[in-house]
Structure 1
Amino acid sequence: MKCPYCSAPDSKVVNSRPSDDGASIRRRRECLSCARRFTTYERAQLEPLMVVKRSGLREAFNPDKLLRGLSLATEKRPVDAALLRGFAYGFEDDVQTAELPAEEIGRRAMTFLRPLDDVAYIRFASVYRDFDSLERFIEEIRGLKDKEE
């Protein structure tokens, strides 16, 4: 492990124990060059969730991309940003498969937004479902009203 203080390539482990959450190992290290101590955390690296795009291409899931879409949909709306971050960064943990179609991510995001804010839901749906006319907007809004009644 490279020292964060002097960039020396070698250090020794002085102490090692599980972290509070039990999902990682906390290691206390000492640089063999400058003798300063620092802490590192070791965590299992799981295979990334792969997103299957409409074109058939596969790419690694990026929670920042999902958060960006949710943030655009909820811009200037009374939706807590912490909820959006929690959903985007916790999304991968909730998925029980190695691959997921992009459409499924969109459906889950719409399901998440629906109870939070109708306007944000419609904004997200308009991009996700690629609304091409005013009639599609009206149809989706009517669907919202029908579900409320």
Structure 2
Amino acid sequence: MKCPFCADANTQVVDTRENEEGDTVRRRRRCVACEKRFTTYERVELQLPQVIKKNGSRTEYQRDKCKASMMLALRKRPVTTESLDAALDRIEERLVQLGQREVASDRIGELVMRELKKLDNIAYIRFASVYRNFEDVNEFSEAIREVEAPPQTPPHGPSTEL
């Protein structure tokens, strides 16, 4: 691992810790050359499906693009970075569980909305208004009623549709 400060390849691991879920390892490192410390993170790299865009083109799933969209909706909202990262992890976990080589961008949008609804209702409304292309106040009212209503579980148990 090269030092981000001086680019020397000789670094030492000072401390290693796993997160609570056990899916990420945090390492504190020290550069032997310049003595500065920095942190690295390790996580399993999963094979995520290709994304089929609305125009039919295909592209790689990009966590940063998904995160940027969610951060825009969460702007100035009281949601921690850790909560956002956990939501992104759940989205990616769900995409892997689907077991498909390709997934429509609409499906990812629905997963994002589901996670935003858990994190913050205002962020959910913001994202939904752009994602669903609200054109009048009635559509906003409908989305607000949706977040105000208690979640309804179907008689057969929780939905596994997405």
- TM superposition score category, shorter chain reference: 0.5 to 0.7
Whole-Å Cα distance in 2 between the matches of residues 144 and 60 of structure 1?
A: 31
1:63-78 alignment to 2 at 5 Å? Answer: 63-78=63-78
1:67-106 alignment to 2 at 5 Å? Answer: 67-89=67-89, 91-95=91-95, 96-106=99-109
Q: How many equivalent pairs are there?
A: 112
> What TM-score results when the alignment is normalised by the length of structure 1?
0.63
Does 1:135 find its partner at 2:145?
A: no
Partner in structure 1 of residue 53 of structure 2: 53
1:64 to 1:133, Cα distance in 2 relative to 1, 3 A: same
1:132 to 1:48, Cα distance in 2 relative to 1, 3 A: same
Unaligned runs of 5+ in 2: 1-6, 10-17, 23-43, 153-162
> What TM-score results when the alignment is normalised by the length of structure 2?
0.58
Unaligned runs of 5+ in 1: 7-19, 22-43
Identity of aligned residues (%): 33
Q: CA RMSD in A?
A: 2.9
> Please, which moves more after superposition, 47-56 or 125-134?
47-56
1:78 to 1:132, Cα distance in 2 relative to 1, 3 A: same
Whole-Å Cα distance in 1 between the matches of residues 147 and 89 of structure 2?
A: 27
Whole-Å Cα distance in 1 between the matches of residues 112 and 8 of structure 2?
A: 42
